[in-house]
Amino acid sequence: MADLVTTSNFPNPDAVYVTLIDARRGLSETDAAALDARLVLILANHIGDLEVLRQAIGLARKTGKNNGAQGK
Amino acid sequence: MTGGRKAIYHYGYRRSPDQDARQPVRHPVVVVGAGPVGLTAAIDLALRGVPVVLLDDANRIGEGSRGICYAKRTLEILDRLGVGSDLVRQGVTWKLGKVYLGDDLVYAFDLLPEDGHKMPAFINLQQYYLEKALVDRALEIERIDLRWSNRVSALEKRSDGVTLTVETPDGPYRLATDWVVAADGARSTIRDLLGLGFEGVTFEDKFLIADVRMAADFPTERRFWFDPPFHTGQSALMHRQPDNVWRIDLQLGPDADADAEQKPERVIPRLKKMLGERPFELEWVSIYRFNCRRLARFVHGRVIFAGDSAHQVSPFGARGANSGVQDAENLAWKLAAVLSGDAGEALLESYDLERIQGADENVGHSTRSTDFIAPHSPAERALRNAVLDLARHCDFARRMVNSGRLSVATVYDSPLTTPDEENFAGSARLGAPVPDAPVRTRAGRDGFLVEQLTGTFEILHIKQGARPQAPPGVKLTVIGEDLQDSAGLLAKRFDASPGATYLLRPDQYLCARWRTFDPDRIAAAHRRALGR
Ligand SMILES: Cc1cc2nc3c(=O)[nH]c(=O)nc-3n(C[C@H](O)[C@H](O)[C@H](O)COP(=O)(O)OP(=O)(O)OC[C@H]3O[C@@H](n4cnc5c(N)ncnc54)[C@H](O)[C@@H]3O)c2cc1C
């Protein structure tokens, strides 16, 4: 079973950030959220490992300001 | 939940001699509720030699329509009870499902892509026809004492049984019984009398369910739409039933006004948007909200819950009556074995275990389907819509589109099963009902394997040399002697080799198998399957 990679996976992290920013530039909040949702699904399928996905969700919830503790 | 149509079958209340007895008359089994589940339980028990008193608070069936889709496994059970083939003839057979996004087909499934099974993947049939067929069958069986307009109103537990108070048009009487099968539906009186919780999820969305009579040449398929042009932003489902009746489900969202939405002046325009100018008549209309929940345990001493009284699901996946009928068949042979002394009461723990597994599977599937169809929050809806948007383009998303995963038999992870020691391929699985296959009888008649099974413990043995001797209490069928594997499919589905031996439970579930016939191993597996 693979573990979630949290060390940098890209030689050029800035390029990754710019690519993701470019994808949402000019989009409304709703459209950006919809894009993110599609992106999450596409990437989740590409990863193809439910355990890694669970770890990623755990990390995302733990690190946010609304850390998900009040969500369900 | 109000229906429009009047009941179509009426039955008379008849006074029972039990009502004149000074002391409560004692019976081995009382089944409470003559819905599909109580009727199945009563018939199966009676065919196994157990006398049954079957009580129902109504004196009619057919008010309003509910279930329509009956799955292959249910049909096999009903066939063993003597009504399956007639129901298949009466019903509409189907196996294809199509899911549309707007106008576009995004996903299709075939529920039974292989031949060589007696029963189809599914039939559609109005639930009142199913109930009518079961009532007719019950009335043929002398061991069943079916009492209409008998409503259970109180229950008193004794150490070795239960005393029930039953209300009738002639006033109340008391009835003593060793066992109660509580098949009294989702609003179970018995569950309330025992003070049992019924916890789960309630979905806020309301659904309009209509049965419409019209001449139409729509395909005989399950068709489901997300966001169709005729019902924007919501979902719709359409199914064919016999008598030119079509079932239509329209999602209305959480804020719909149930009373207003039920009025013809509201319903008819909605349906016209879907059906066009084609003339139609409303058979029945109702507004539902759905629940997915179950009891924590189904066996409570001498009171055993089955069907909707034990678990409730949303209709997406057709898992309600289908799973209830499977509860009834799981319970019937076990209770009969306990009553005859073949097994101890401990066997009933396996009913709890196996059917809770079944319920969890059914509740899980129907909850996930309903979550998909009716998301709980705007954030959940955004993700659902993302799946739908992607479904037009990629396979992975099409496979996430969930409009209902249709009922199949649960594979039990059960202590009654003897684990494999040898390898077996094929579609037969331990803890599952045996797959069907074409066979030819000694008399040269072509038929199917499952219809040949008699509802006892049974060995299927692939002929190899002399006919072996089965242990007591187990019927032996030699393939290649008693039955011929006429299409070669039995061998394939069972991964059979000469000498291979399969032990089937009375409910046709495979509980042990070996490559050779070994009487000691068979006897041990038989004892284990009886919980001994
Ligand atoms: C819109 C809709 C669509 C559905 N579609 C499907 C489908 O396609 N396939 C499927 O498998 N399922 C479907 N279902 C579910 C199915 O209708 C139920 O699961 C099924 O009726 C349950 O059977 P039951 O015998 O457990 O309970 P019920 O059918 O509710 O029967 C219970 C009986 O007990 C009697 N009773 C109640 N209280 C007492 C009392 N105190 N004393 C005596 N008698 C009593 C009642 O009169 C009733 O006759 C659908 C349900 C709905 C609402």
Q: Where are the alpha helices (DSSP H) in B91-148?
A: 127-140
Model confidence band, residue B2 (pLDDT cutoffs 50, 70, 90):
very low
Residue B327 CA to residue B322 CA, distance in Å, equals 9
3-state class (DSSP) for residue B438:
strand
Residue B412 CA to residue B417 CA, distance in Å, equals 8
Pocket-testing residue among B60, B66, B135, B262, ligand 1, by greatest number of atoms within 8 A of Cβ: B66
- Do residues B234 and B250 lie in contact, with contact meaning Cβ atoms separated by under 8 Å? yes
Residue B523 CA to residue B270 CA, distance in Å, equals 62
Residue nearest to atom 29 of ligand 1 (CA): B35
Q: Where are the alpha helices (DSSP H) in B392-431?
A: 395-398
Residue length of chain A:
72
Number of separate domains in chain A: 1
Residue of A35, A41, A42, A72 for testing the chain B interface, max B β-carbons within 10 Å:
A41
Strand order in the sheet with B281-294: B104-110, B96-101, B222-226, B235-241, B245-253, B199-213, B281-294, B311-312
Q: pLDDT tens, B235-264?
A: 999 999 999 999 999 999 999 999 999 999
Instruction: Tell me the two tokens of residue B84.
Output: 């399956």
B347-373 and B320-340 helices, crossing angle to 10°: 180
Residue type, B235: S
At residue B6, the pLDDT reads 58
**CA angle, corner B329, sides to B351 and B193, nearest 5?**
60
Cβ burial, residue B338 (10 Å; 0-12/13-18/19+): buried
Phi, psi for B383 (deg, rounded to 5):
-70, -40
Residue B2 CA to residue B285 CA, distance in Å, equals 8
Residue B273 CA to residue B514 CA, distance in Å, equals 59
3-state class (DSSP) for residue B41:
helix
Q: pLDDT tens, A1-30?
A: 689 999 999 999 999 999 999 999 999 999
At residue A24, the pLDDT reads 95
pLDDT exceeds cutoff 60 at B5: no
* pLDDT (average), residues B81-106: 96
Using a CB–CB cutoff of 8 Å, tell me whether A60 touches chain B.
Answer: no
Number of helices and strands in chain A (H, E): 3, 0
pLDDT exceeds cutoff 80 at B230: yes
Distance from CA of B40 to the nearest CA of A (A): 40
- Whether the CA torsion B421, B427, B432, B436 is positive or negative: it is negative
pTM: 0.95
pLDDT exceeds cutoff 90 at A72: no
- Residue A8 falls inside a structural domain: no
Single out the residue of B505, B73, B521 nearest to residue B324, CA to CA: B73
Residue that wins the pLDDT comparison between B294 and B1: B294
Residue B228 CA to residue B220 CA, distance in Å, equals 19
A25 CA distance to ligand 1 centroid (A)? 54
What b/e readout covers B195-233, taking b as 16+ CB neighbours within 10 angstroms?
ebebeeeebebbbbbbbbbeeeeeeeebbbbbbbeebee
DSSP B202-218: EEEEEEEEEEEE-----
pLDDT exceeds cutoff 90 at A64: no
Residue B470 CA to residue B522 CA, distance in Å, equals 8
- Residue A16 falls inside a structural domain: no
DSSP conformation class of B91: S
Q: What is the CATH number of domain B9-94+123-199+292-365?
A: 3.50.50.60
- Residue A42 falls inside a structural domain: yes
pLDDT exceeds cutoff 80 at A67: no
How is chain B split into domains, by residue range? 9-94+123-199+292-365, 438-529
Distance from CA of B383 to the nearest CA of A (A): 6
- Residue A64 falls inside a structural domain: yes
- Do residues B85 and B210 lie in contact, with contact meaning Cβ atoms separated by under 8 Å? no
DSSP B289-319: EEEEEE-S-SEETTEEE-GGGTEE--STTS-
B382 to A41: CB separation less than 8 angstroms, yes or no:
no
Range of the domain at A49: 28-71
Residue B28 CA to residue B525 CA, distance in Å, equals 28
- DSSP collapsed to 3 states, A55-72: HHHHHHHHHCCCCCCCCC
B403 CA distance to ligand 1 centroid (A)? 22
At residue A70, the pLDDT reads 46
Q: Which residue of A has its CA nearest to B393?
A: A42
Phi, psi for B93 (deg, rounded to 5):
-85, 135
At residue A68, the pLDDT reads 53
Pocket-testing residue among B11, B13, B56, B60, ligand 1, by greatest number of atoms within 8 A of Cβ: B56
3-state class (DSSP) for residue B492:
helix
* pLDDT (average), residues B459-475: 96
Q: What is the CATH number of domain B438-529?
A: 3.40.30.120
At residue A1, the pLDDT reads 64
Residue B459 CA to residue B513 CA, distance in Å, equals 9
Task: Tell me the ipTM for this assembly.
Answer: 0.92
